[in-house]
Amino acid sequence: RAQRAVLMLRSEVVAREVTLSESRAALTPPQIAITPRLPTGCRFWIRSGTTDRQVFVVEQPPSRRTIEYHASRRRDSEPTTYRLAVPYVVFVVSTIGEQIEGLSTYFRTQPIASLDATLFSSTLPNTNDDGIVCLGSVRVSGVSVGERVDALIGAFWASRFNQDLRRHPLPFSGGFRSWASRSRRDPLAALSMQYDPYWRTLRQVVTQMAGL
């Protein structure tokens, strides 16, 4: 039987000429930047080398949260416990070195897609109209900054909320009692509520908290 020969043709194309030093640089393994232990749910981590500041953007999915709210300023009064459905909650935490500097929180009805995401004002207590949280005497510990941020957010949810700061108004009447009632009927009720838009984007909040 006749044998059929197959001819393989190979063409060489020079895409770009480089110097020997460029070639060595391309073959040199890059320096690996070691990322610290990030907080749970961290979506963005921004570090400012000039100010030694770090900013962590943490997003928590919609859920039902139990909070204690002290409506009265009398020391002998007891707080009321509410089980509230909350939307996506965004925490922005700034640190200097290893120390927590500030905490802000906002609402969203959809997950964050980029740093240019818009924000809604949080209606949670102890949070002012700019989203800044009153930390009071909260002190947290942890081996890394990421662990301390986790502990800080945990302490926020576990705190005894009060009227130290005028919270942003709810989008409906009836206060926390009405909020809790809506939450019992629908665990995702918070996603359909109409919140007041915050005047800064997430990028602007991060930029300001990073001191840039």
What is the reported pLDDT for 43? 95
Contact 180, 83 (CB under 8 A): yes
The C-alpha atoms of residue 170 and residue 77 are separated, in whole angstroms, by 24
- Provide the residue-wise pLDDT of the chain in tens; the chain has 212 residues: 444 444 344 444 444 554 545 545 554 455 445 567 899 999 999 987 766 889 999 999 999 999 998 876 666 677 889 999 999 999 999 998 878 889 999 999 999 999 999 999 999 988 888 899 887 767 777 778 889 999 999 999 998 887 766 667 888 888 889 999 999 999 999 999 999 999 999 999 999 998 86
Query: pTM to 2 decimals?
Result: 0.79
Place of tokens 């020969």: 5
Residue 5: other Cβ atoms inside 10 A: 5
- Enter the tokens of residue 11: 């063409």
